[in-house]
A and B are shown apart, each in its own frame.
Chain A
């Protein structure tokens, strides 16, 4: 599928892996951390008065270092704003009042979730972003990958980029998803199987009955961590689930692309989902896979449920289910960081099935979790030192985020375990890494 999307984007009839081609970009995304650098390069190379190639195809989403007093971080958002005004950028999800994100009508939250919710992800298109997790958008059957400032500066001016066509690895997942597993477990299984460099320079294509049964947020979680295996991009075929999701979000016409019957893949991996068990990724690598039940002696100090990988509405509903079933209070500080405005609002409005009408936020409050924070990237990447819930001293943390390399959340000696929302909520109740099946049956 990747080869066909890139062929269309480069106006060639067909491509093979290994070819270097210039492609037309449909959407370029940048945020507050890498935006200013990209803008600086754009102006340096194309001139102070240069105009972007298409003011409607650039999407600028401040989300990383937002709720902080750090002057440079706030200056960077100002740089974005000035650029958007000067270039008349159509899609700029601005934030000015840091004391209350809700009074900012345009602010959306984490870029990858916002891109999807605002209808910028469309099947068959090419989306590039200055963030490694741009691959999340592959969930929509498009080619989406991360690039750096210099490449982004180039795209800003030309709308094109030089890319090498990747070979594709096929991941076939069949079987009904057991009720104690979430998509995070699937991707941790895959990364544990092929290692953090197993998919370097390759495309990861996900097929099978399990994949077809996933909703869009789940597919996004799957593609989000493609880069953790070194993958260039991940794709899931667009189908009725995709089209339904996009119905009320975009009116831009799109044309999905599908792999041919005789498509060639570099390797094929098959998984029988019904046999899998809840997993964690131990410090300090996303491929350090272990069964959750085998880590039950690991004492934890904190739990984070949130971020682009685990902070969407579905993820919070899953965590709430665990708390509801146990009816107990958390034993360790539990931080909740919704990925987007919409996720935050859903926490406070959508009733959790089987709870008698309670919302996620009520269930979390009763369990003793921290109040849901402002939507942003927060402590996932240990930003400025005053970031909410940053790890400022060594501790053991369980997180629904996507990386656990040394120092990722702030302190170099901190230990981060990655897990699904189920496998993050259960340990919050016990104080130790716990298999969520203890609370789900």
Chain B
């Protein structure tokens, strides 16, 4: 069955499809449920497979060795678990239940897209799967030397920071969609910034690569790179486990329906603006 071949990383879905059962994957920090009917899962899996920029990873089993960055034994030594997230065919139920958990990388104000992905890497075409991965490996490589901690270690393709915390006007400058794509490809699940530049925000919403969330206060001044954080979308809050503080996030606003539908194309299909794709 095609589904079995495609989802090579996700044995649990294969199990679900084969035995036609519900799968509720719970960890201490997140709960995500999958569609229950086989047909629904097939269609969902086909959509995932058909879209080269949708990837699906389960977190590695927790290891007990401590790390220098955080004391939480649930977090693995290697690349941080990419928070499970369904793109392009989210049901309302799973969106409300989505949480993100990981370690954060903190940047300042006016991080422009040249710093997120310098122009010399723009020859990589994001809709090409191999180039998509390569793009991810260059995310935030344009940050100046004042950022002592690198976002991605040399010779690595992914980041261990699944949440980026920024200041004002995140993503300003060039319209390059490579910016949110590079962050998503690198393993970022969500960005929490004080405010966003318009085109970057649009691109994040349209592609579904990262959740662009806004904070009420300047979280970038209260969090440090390496802090362990959890974002609870339903409650619109961010919890910094390292400092013990909680912060309110702004509601997603008008972009909400587009994000919930799964991006501009899914939204357009849902509202009848363009015909549905055949499964």
Contacts and interface: CB of A to CB of B under 8 A. Distances in A.
Nearest to B264: A154
A230 B175 contact: no
Contacts of B175: 34, 130-132, 134, 146-148
Interface residues of A, number: 56
Nearest to A73: B123
A39 B176 CA distance: 15
A405 B119 CA distance: 12
Contacts of A410: 120
Contact of B120 (A22, A146, A384): A384
Given A22-B273, A197-B197, A383 B119 contact: yes
B254 interface: yes
B119 A154 contact: no
Contacts of A384: 120, 123
B114 A408 contact: yes
A72 B177 contact: no
Contacts of A147: 175, 199, 202
Interface residues of B, number: 49
A210 interface: no
A382 B119 contact: yes
Interface stretch (B20-28, B166-174, B233-241): B166-174
A407 interface: yes
A154 B274 CA distance: 10
Interface in B89-147: 110, 112, 114-115, 118-120, 122-128, 142-145
Contacts of B124: 72
A189 interface: no
Nearest to B119: A381
Interface string A272-285: 00000000000001
Interface string B257-270: 01000011101100
Given A132-B174, A408-B114, A412-B142, A164 B254 contact: yes
A33 interface: yes
B51 interface: yes
A54 B144 CA distance: 44
B162 interface: no
Given A34-B176, A148-B176, 9 more contacts: A22-B273, A34-B122, A130-B175, A146-B175, A146-B199, A196-B110, A200-B198, A232-B198, A403-B173
Interface of A: 20, 22, 33-34, 36-37, 39-41, 44-45, 64-65, 70, 72-73, 75-76, 79, 130-132, 134, 146-151, 154, 157-158, 160, 162, 164, 196-197, 200-201, 227, 230, 232, 285, 381-385, 403, 405-408, 410, 412-413
Interface of B: 50-52, 110, 112, 114-115, 118-120, 122-128, 142-145, 168-169, 172-178, 195-199, 202-203, 206-207, 254, 258, 263-265, 267-268, 273-274, 277
